[in-house]
Amino acid sequence: MRIPISWLRDFAALPDDAGAIADRLAMLGFPVAAIEKRPTITGVVTGRIVALEKHPNADRLQVAQVDIAGGSALTIATAATNVANGQTIAVATVGAQLPALKIERRTMRGVVSHGMMISADELALPADWFEDGILQLDGTTPLGVDVVELFGLAAEVLDVEITTNRPDAMSVIGLARELAASYGVPLRLPSFVNPGEAAEPAAEAPHVILESADCHRYVAQRFDGVSVEAAPAWMRVRLALAGQRPINNLVDVSNYVMLETGQPLHFYDADRIENGKLIVRSAREGETIVTLDGVARKLSPQALVIADEGQPLCLAGLMGGMAGEVASETRAIVLEAANFNGTRIRRMSASLGMRSEASARHEKSLAPALTDIGAARAAQLLSALGATAYRPHEFGASVAPAQPIALPVREAERVLGLAIPKERIERHLRALGCDVASTESNVLSVRPPAWRRDLGIAVDLIEEIARIEGYERIDAVEPSVPPHAISSARFELERRVAHALAALGYHEVITYSLQGASLSERMPRASVAASEPAVEVRNPLSEEQRFLRSSLLPGLLDYLESYGPTVRVFEIGDVFAADQNRILEQTSVAFGFAADPSPQPWHDSSFLRLKGDCEALLRKMTGRQADFSRGAGIGFHPGKTASVSVGDREVGKLGCIDPRVSRAFELEGNAYFCMLDLAALPEYETPRYRPPSKYPSTYRDIALVVGVEVSAREIERAVAAALGDICTAVRVFDEYRGPQAGEDRKSLAVRMTLQRYDATITDEEADAAVSRVLDAVRDEFGATIRA
């Protein structure tokens, strides 16, 4: 939120410079993202054109006599086309310093010019937000006044970040109140007495029907005698400094009041409201509205609208519609100051894909009391512009005072660890707008102000006391909770895995355990089910930290999306899953890479490369050979995924990521990942030395026809068991599927290496061993010898 410091100083005497004020706001819980320094401008004063005539020697120049109330009028030549006799303008006198120019006396076609008339651009204001040419000031502006001081153009502009629980602080008055309380200076507020309170009701008084319970309170007030024109210069300049484009006096008044008080407003052309009735209701299915941005929007019952008896006139709390828009011919308006259900406004805004300054406030659940404050302030400004204010009408619930909160003084000292006198506690709370009374010697009865909805219990008040007293006064105390540490065995395991993967050429990355919906929902949006339902955090710090991750895969794919296929990455981290009333947490390791987007279709070398890395890692970690079998995994390609086992224990999955998931993460090619459960890895088995035999070995090859469901690893185990001690190696080295093998059958070529340690193996022994093998595989798998 952009706030000129000059506006804050209207309500509180702030003693410090911009940097100190920004630091103070940060300590109060409102960090300042940026401080905009204004350029140096000197020598610019207000003046009035008292004579204007054509330049004698130039067709495109005019010569003006400008009175700046200090002597004789200045002669100024100008090429501007929007000047006229009697106008009040800004004038840069000789010697004035502008952002890009120093004013000197100069001769223009024989006429000596003693200054320059000023445009908005020359005052470092957005040129396209103001009139084209010389900036026009109000006729009542005193002459000879320094323009920079008059409009506060030298003061810095703060860009303040407001937390979602403090919508009352999304206003100049809200932040001024915080600063005044912190500095201990009085808060100077305008009177919030509505000038229409003493007026008669309008003959055509607005009538509001609240059909939806999502409108809590609605203040409507009619004004006659309005004229749509430019707002006063002071208001236009102040709005521009705050980042709001000046439009006309009515729009500018509504924006000004919203920035000053925090209450959004809306104006309707009173003559365009059918039968003078405004109805707050849910939109009808298929109903349309053309909003003020000129876009026709189709609505659903989720939208909340303000309508007359014929059509919707406004999206409640979001944006007005063209049907009830104030136009140049408007002479009577109806002011709306309403309080809506913040959740309803936020959902409507999201569903329509639009957001406004008004919705940014309404969606945070404003206090109903702000409706009367905003309406009163707007009525004062409109009356000052010549409009006739009629009596305001209130609809919906009345503003109920907050329930008092009992605050023991000793509780504040216990929580903060800081002894603060009761009188100072009372002063801090009153400065924030609370009503404070002593019920007992050390207990205060505190009634929160009507504009604060975040103060409900005693600790809320204690937090307010700490903010105003200053967090820097509270000593840092180490908590008594013992530090949480992982076991040495787990740390050593993770360290060894990390070193092994680094040796294989992978780079360690760390992704967040907390993720937003935008990341965790990418796989479901790609029609791929997530590994586990995401565990939602009850009170997330932000929308990007709402869910605990159920897999390392989305975070790593998001990393590859940013860095492309040239990097091989791994991560060791915890994943989470819900199990009834508890959260399960386990440590997982994932490693992989994005492959070349155009691999050879007949040879997937990336899969084999990943499989080899997995074998090397598990051999390093367990001392055993890893086994691979056809498998399936969440997020993996259905036909290019393997289950990874060590011994008889499955430890993970590896394979090609489902192409739909890769596309969801905007990867050019396929991604390949291995995911292992560290807790499932067996302990390291130290290899035992066996001296080699001094007798030669022999081998036999057989081709077995088995069912397609039989894996090569199962065949290798059965063959090794049948051979017994004379077997030194068994390997399936070929697979054939085709007509010769038969339907639903395949042929596996197996090489058996045979060797004895006490003698040379004979052909008879080898043949007998092969016979045992054939009997074993026939009995277990129904295998036959391939013809």
| Tens-digit pLDDT profile for residues 278-306 | 999 999 999 999 999 999 999 999 999 99
Q: Return the beta strands (E) in 341-474 as ranges.
A: 388-389, 393-396, 405-408, 435-440, 443-447
**What was the pLDDT predicted at 162?**
94
> Tokens 């199990």 — which residue?
579
Confidence of residue 600 (pLDDT cuts 50, 70, 90): low
Taking only the tens place, the pLDDT of each residue in 112-150 is 999 999 999 999 999 999 998 999 999 999 999 999 999
The 3 state secondary structure assigned to 490-519 is: HHHHHHHHHHHHHHCCCEECCCCCEECHHH
- The torsion defined by the Cα of 519, 525, 529 and 534, in degrees rounded to 10, comes to 40
Beta strands in 580-634 (DSSP E): 582-594, 626-630
Q: What percentage of the chain exceeds 70 in pLDDT?
A: 96
DSSP lists the bridge partners of residue 444 as 407, 438
The percentage of the chain sitting over the pLDDT mark of 90, rounded to a whole number, equals 70
pLDDT at residue 166, rounded to an integer:
93
Q: Is the pLDDT of residue 16 over 90?
A: no
CATH 3.30.930.10 domain residues, the chain: 488-680
Residue 531, pLDDT score: 59
pLDDT band (50, 70, 90) for residue 479:
low
CATH architecture of 42-151: Beta Barrel (2.40)
Angstrom CA distances, 179 to 185, 223, 432, 474, 638, stand at: 8, 35, 10, 20, 61
Instruction: Report residue 702: phi and psi, to 5°.
Output: -135, 150
DSSP string, 414-425: HHHT----HHHH
Nearest to 238 by CA among 264, 261, 265, 260: 260
Could you give the 3-state DSSP secondary structure of residue 182? Answer: helix
Residues 36-56 have a mean pLDDT of: 93
- The answer to whether the CB of 587 falls within 8 A of the CB of 573 is yes
The DSSP H or E segment spanning 92 is strand 88-98
Q: Which fold has domain 698-785?
A: Alpha-Beta Plaits (3.30.70)
Element (H, E) at 248: none
DSSP symbols for 503-559:
HTT-EE----SEE-HHHHTHHHHTT---SSPPEEPSS-SSGGGSEE-S-SHHHHHHH
Asked if 114 contacts 70 with a C-beta cutoff of 8 angstroms, the reply is no
Please tell me the predicted confidence (pLDDT) of residue 194: 94
CATH 3.30.930.10 fits 2-38+156-183, yes or no: no
Fold classification of 207-396 is: Phenylalanyl-tRNA Synthetase; Chain B, domain 3 (3.50.40)
DSSP assignment letter at 119: B
Q: Is the pLDDT of residue 599 over 90?
A: no
Q: Which of 145-154, 316-325, 516-525, 611-620 is predicted with the least confidence, judged by mean pLDDT?
A: 516-525
**Stretch 377-385: mean pLDDT:** 96
Q: For residue 4, how many other CB atoms are within 10 A of its CB?
A: 25
Specify the 3-state DSSP secondary structure of 613: helix
The residues facing 116 across adjacent strands are 92
3-state secondary structure of 74: strand
Which range (116-125, 515-524, 732-741) has the least confidence?
A: 515-524
Q: How confident is the model at residue 485 (pLDDT cuts 50, 70, 90)?
A: low
DSSP state of 713: H
Q: What are 161-178's pLDDT values in tens digits? A: 999 899 999 999 999 999
pLDDT classification of 490: cutoffs 50, 70, 90: confident
Q: What is the pLDDT of residues 75-121, one digit of tens each?
A: 999 999 999 999 999 999 999 999 989 999 988 888 899 999 999 99
Tokens at 398, concatenated: 């009345």
| pLDDT for the residue numbered 529 | 66
Architecture of the domain made up of 488-680: 2-Layer Sandwich (3.30)
What confidence score (pLDDT) does residue 745 get? 92
Residue 252 neighbours by CB distance under 10 Å: 22
Report the pLDDT averaged over residues 728-757.
92
* Residue 669 neighbours by CB distance under 10 Å: 16
- The torsion angles phi and psi of 626, rounded to 5 degrees, stand at -80, 145
Structure tokens given for 214: 């999502």
CA distance 360 to 375: 19
Given a contact cutoff of 8 angstroms between Cβ atoms, the answer to whether 576 and 569 are in contact is no
pLDDT at 6: 95
The span from the CA of 659 to the CA of 469, in Å, is 58
- Please give the pLDDT value at position 532: 64
Query: What is the reported pLDDT for 498?
Result: 95
Residue 728 has pLDDT above 80, yes or no: yes
567 confidence band (pLDDT: 50, 70, 90): confident
pLDDT above 90 for 519: no
**How far is 680 from 626, CA to CA, in rounded Å?**
13
Question: Where does 115-206 show beta strands of DSSP type E?
Answer: 115-117, 136-137, 157-160
pLDDT score of 713 more than 60: yes
pLDDT tens for each residue of 441-469: 789 999 999 999 999 999 999 999 999 99
Give the per-residue pLDDT at 786: 87
Alpha-carbon span 560 to 508, nearest angstrom: 13
Burial 50-60 (b: 16+ CB within 10 A, else e): eebeebeeeee
- The pLDDT of 604-621, averaged and rounded, is 90
- What CATH number was assigned to the domain covering residues 405-473? 3.30.56.10
Burial of 323 (0-12, 13-18, 19+ CB in 10 A): buried
Q: Measure the CA–CA gap between 222 and 767, rounded to whole angstroms.
A: 109
Q: How far is the C-alpha of 146 from the C-alpha of 98, rounded, in Å?
A: 13
Parts of the chain belonging to CATH 3.30.56.10: 2-38+156-183, 405-473
> What is the chain's mean pLDDT, rounded?
91
**Residue whose token pair is 């008080």:** 261
Tens of pLDDT along 745-783? 999 999 999 999 999 999 999 999 999 999 999 999 999
For residue 469, what pLDDT is reported?
93
Higher confidence at residue 667 or residue 426?
426
> From residue 782, how far is each of 708, 722, 731, 772, 775 by CA, in Å?
12, 15, 20, 14, 10
Count Cβ atoms within 10 A of the Cβ of residue 660 and give its class: 0-12 exposed, 13-18 middle, 19 or more buried: middle
- The pLDDT score that the predictor gives to residue 521 is 72
pLDDT number for residue 603: 57
CA atoms within 13 A on the CB side of 251: 17
Distance CA 281, CA 213 (A): 9
Q: Delimit the CATH 3.30.70.380 region(s) of the chain.
A: 698-785
CATH 3.50.40.10 boundaries in the chain: 207-396
Each residue's pLDDT tens digit, 216-244: 999 999 999 999 999 999 999 999 999 99
